[in-house]
Structure 1
Amino acid sequence: MSTLRSRAQMLEPYAIIGEPPEPDLEAIASIAAHICGAPTAVVNLIDDTHQHQVAAHGFARSVCDREDSMCAVSIALPEPVYLPDARLDPRWADNPFVTGVIGDVRFYSSTQLINARGEVLGTLCVFDEEVREITADQRTQLELLAHQVVDVLELRRQSFELHAAIAQLEHAREELERSNEHLAAFAGQVSHDLKNPLASVVGYLHNLSEVGAVVSEPEAAWCTQRALAASQRMSDMIGHLLDYASVGGSLTLVPVDLGQVVADLTDDLSDAIASVGGALAVEGQLPTVAGDSVQLRAVLQNLISNALKFRRLSRPPRVVVSAAGRDGTWLVRVADNGIGIPSDRREQAFALLSRVHDESAREIAGNGIGLATCKRIVTAHGGEIGLTDTPGGGTTVWFTLPVDER
């Protein structure tokens, strides 16, 4: 990258060259002139080819060629410049602003504008056509004002960057809304194009399974039952995909008592828990959070069902639900003592249609949609979700939810 181009790029984020004057910079220029008792002061930004007077006191702002600029020399010096009479300094004696070609500058003060990255943006310049001296105290005040100029410029840069970031977020939000609309449309299309024909297939298979010739022929009956089971699995997968497509996009936020949700799930899943000799417990008191009650119930039901499903055959499954406050959010944990998930596959576990357990779990029914659905719901609530080990073996799924402050 060339040096000339780098100065233009350095000044570009401040978005001030060629723009109307910044009132705060005009005020600083006025104060600088008053401190020195001089009639004129200016804030200069110097790019590759020109000096831009972005704020001025005592005269109209203008632009000049960099080769004519007195401050183009000052920005390369190691310290501020204070000249009672610029004609007496060989570095500026032949400058057109001194010789009368452009101006008749005598007193000349130039303080560099240095940002936090050590880049010299330009100068705070005070000048007069009369010879004058300034004190050390006045010089110190000019240096303080130069810092104020940089602060104003940095605030302007950060403001423009913030507005750009907000615009990007708004664009992303609009894109997300469009994506959710397309996803909902896709879900409807799937329902029409896949689920309804599949229901017909299942119906025909049921009828076929009751035909006498099939019932009396063991191999035909076995094949029919296999086809029915496969059709049911396909129907379940389509249903789960439709659920995944529909969750997270629209939330009905109400106070949700997670303790009551787990109590209801304990009743609903009592047969499933008893069938594997398992136990579902709550550790401590679960909070009331702000969320969509239906979708948060789906998260806990998915996690508890997974914990019962991916159990160790050597011991009864135990599932413990707990929560703790953390940095303005609730951290909810669902811990089991099951077969666990390898640490290098935990991120993959939340991908749609992903199965991450080893060969020993291959016979456990599952379609890789449950955790993806949980992540979609938790993310829609502004939370995060992840996996850790349970002490003593197993998996703990944790997720965060906002505190209900209503």
Structure 2
Amino acid sequence: MDTVTFGWTAAESDRAAAIRNYGLAPTAAGRPPVLPQADAEGALTNLVTLAARLCAVPFSVVNIITEDRQVQIAAWGVDPGVCSREDSMCAQVFLSGVTTVVPDASQDVRFADNPFVTGEIAKVRYYASVPLKTASGFVLGSLCIFSDGPANPTGEQIEMLEVLAHQVVEVLELQHRTLQLSETLAELKRSNAMLGEFAGRISHDLRTPLTTMLGYIELAEDDPDIPPGHPAVEYLEFIGSGGRRMLKTLEDVLEYSQVDGTLQREPVSLLAVTEQAARDLGHDLGPASGIFSDDTELVADPVQLRSLLQNLLANSLNYSSPERSLRVTVGATVSERGVTVSVADNGVGISPADRKQAVEPLVRLNRAGDGPGTGLGLATCQRIAQAHGGELEIRDSPGGGVTISVLFRWDLAGPSAVSPAGKL
């Protein structure tokens, strides 16, 4: 079937696929579809109501024309229903690309024998319809008004009907985007689940032999038959160091893979979580460690927040400046968008040219003097930020160093307030 026969820019099969992609195909039971976009049905009902009242006619519908049916997804004056495409009046003209106005359908050769006109289904006399053309060129159906008696909308009213038809298309486009987003989120969840399963399996399969190897290395290092200074001592150090790095990489990959959009949000104390994260790294808060934290309450997933703070504190410790004593401050600020948690240090910092690369997984900057790492710390923090609907920002700290900020958005976190209660 060519484009001349079926109009506009695509074959009928492509238009049918577009109708399915917009979620407008009838159900298996042959009834109008349930629109997945929460407000779409109400918005369409308002538009057909306005169309009927504006043009002073008793009936108005949004018709979707499929391969073999006419599907009414919104109606005023009648109940939405489904009929064959052969019986549809709109199917005769909707691909013309222009507005159709018929003062008396019983006198029009296109419609005189139509069951909606003859009385078999209805007795339509006045009829007008506007094609529903999407931005991509597909004509999904029409917005039509009709009456079983005389009607005489003015040219200006018909122009307003065309404006309303454009608004119907906008609602349908919004539904299309909602469906695309839902499909993308479902695919993302599936991908994350597969990533987590794969990482967990690989971690399990490699962790056991690595742990066994490191155990034997420790036994060999304590072997009295290997005297100090023997070449085997150096070899064992190299093997042990490499094994421990590999084990840390496995742990980081597993942690990275487990961060997704599934959150268990609850009110948490920033100070308490920071204390836990610092202890995980072998430090207490205070002047001795140089790590300080605000005492602020926010709503977040406590496990992911602890992971984020642990990674950021580890980076601050790893990339401290040899020119000054370490100082790291964990704080939180409130804005209209949500709560921003920041970790500011006075270390060597991250140059603006390196900041995009720094959040890529398994990428290290490899600068002179940098400590060991796997290149997954900031990438994991980036995923935690995204899981909370926010973003990660890197900027310079006043006086040197780097400040990493993560936004925890209000619209995902809920109504909990942030209540500063002093500082350590």
Q: Same fold (TM over 0.5)?
A: yes
Q: Report percent identity of matched pairs.
A: 22
Report how many aligned residue pairs link the two structures. 375
Equivalent residue letter for 1:401:
F
What is aligned with 1:134?
151
What is aligned with 2:391?
384
What is aligned with 2:358?
349
In the alignment, is the contact (CA less than 8 A) between 2:348 and 2:400 conserved in 1?
yes
What is aligned with 1:197?
213
| Higher-Rg member (1/2) | 1
Separation in structure 2 between the aligned mates of residue 100 and residue 302 of structure 1, nearest angstrom: 71
- Residues 139-288 of structure 1: pairs in structure 2 closer than 5 A: 155=171, 158-159=174-175, 162-163=178-179, 165-207=181-223, 210-211=224-225, 214-215=227-228, 218=229, 220=230, 224-225=233-234, 227-246=236-255, 248=258, 254-263=266-275, 265=278, 268-269=282-283, 279-282=290-293, 285-288=294-297
Residue 6 in structure 1 maps to residue 17 in structure 2: no
What is aligned with 1:309?
318
Separation in structure 2 between the aligned mates of residue 111 and residue 386 of structure 1, nearest angstrom: 52
How much does 1:83 deviate? 3.3
Separation in structure 1 between the aligned mates of residue 222 and residue 286 of structure 2, nearest angstrom: 26
How much does 1:238 deviate? 0.5
Separation in structure 2 between the aligned mates of residue 186 and residue 70 of structure 1, nearest angstrom: 57
How much does 1:324 deviate? 0.5
What is aligned with 2:93?
72
In the alignment, is the contact (CA less than 8 A) between 2:24 and 2:64 conserved in 1?
no
Which of 103, 127, 144 is equivalent to 1:124?
144
5+ unaligned residues in a row in structure 1: which ranges?
A: none
- Give the secondary-structure state (helix, strand or coil) at the position aligned to 2:350: coil
- Give the secondary-structure state (helix, strand or coil) at the position aligned to 1:296: helix
In the alignment, is the contact (CA less than 8 A) between 1:109 and 1:127 conserved in 2?
yes
In the alignment, is the contact (CA less than 8 A) between 1:44 and 1:125 conserved in 2?
no
- Residues 28-67 of structure 1: pairs in structure 2 closer than 5 A: 35=56, 52=70, 54=72, 61-64=83-86
What is aligned with 1:361?
369
How much does 1:73 deviate? 8.7
Distance 1:326 1:230, change over 3 A: farther
Separation in structure 1 between the aligned mates of residue 326 and residue 114 of structure 2, nearest angstrom: 94
Separation in structure 2 between the aligned mates of residue 28 and residue 188 of structure 1, nearest angstrom: 62
Q: TM-score when scaled to structure 1?
A: 0.68
Q: TM-score when scaled to structure 2?
A: 0.65
Residue 337 in structure 1 maps to residue 346 in structure 2: yes
How much does 1:348 deviate? 2.5
Equivalent residue letter for 2:146:
V
Separation in structure 2 between the aligned mates of residue 312 and residue 42 of structure 1, nearest angstrom: 70
